[in-house]
Amino acid sequence: MMNIKYPKTEIMIVLGSKVYPLYTSLSVNEVHDFMRAAHREDFLIFPTAINKEHGNGLWYPGCGSDPIWTDWEVKKNAIKSIIKLPEPKVRIDYNVDSDNYEF
């Protein structure tokens, strides 16, 4: 079985006066466990998807590029909501006689 890293959870955080989505490969339960163990002023580190093609900005679905993964440190009290993302749907054609593989 292949271990493919993909965004599982969207974490909405406040930086200054703006709200930004962080896409992480952690499940909602893992994020909850980190938050439960931390105090309000603690920093938490999440594996976060960034967009290498646009100056290392935050990656988002539909941006047209694959995410690059980095660790992002966020203060617990900056986290405002956590959203579980649907699992990606992937179809792979393993027909060895074909030159056209579908992903």
Inside any domain, residue 75? yes
| pLDDT at residue number 91 | 64
Average pLDDT, the chain: 86
Return left, alpha or beta for 40; rule: phi > 0 is left, psi -120 to 50 is alpha, else beta: alpha
Inside any domain, residue 42? yes
Task: Collect all residues with Cβ–Cβ distance below 8 Å to 26 and sequence separation of at least 6.
Answer: 8, 9, 34, 46, 47
Inside any domain, residue 35? yes
pLDDT per position as a tens digit, 28-52: 999 999 999 999 999 999 999 998 8
Of the candidates 65, 55, 60, the residue with the CA atom closest to the CA atom of residue 23: 60
Inside any domain, residue 92? no
| pLDDT at residue number 98 | 54
Of the candidates 82, 78, 85, the residue with the CA atom closest to the CA atom of residue 18: 78
Q: How many domains does the chain have?
A: 1
pLDDT band at 2 (very low <50, low <70, confident <90, very high): low
pLDDT per position as a tens digit, 59-68: 988 888 888 9
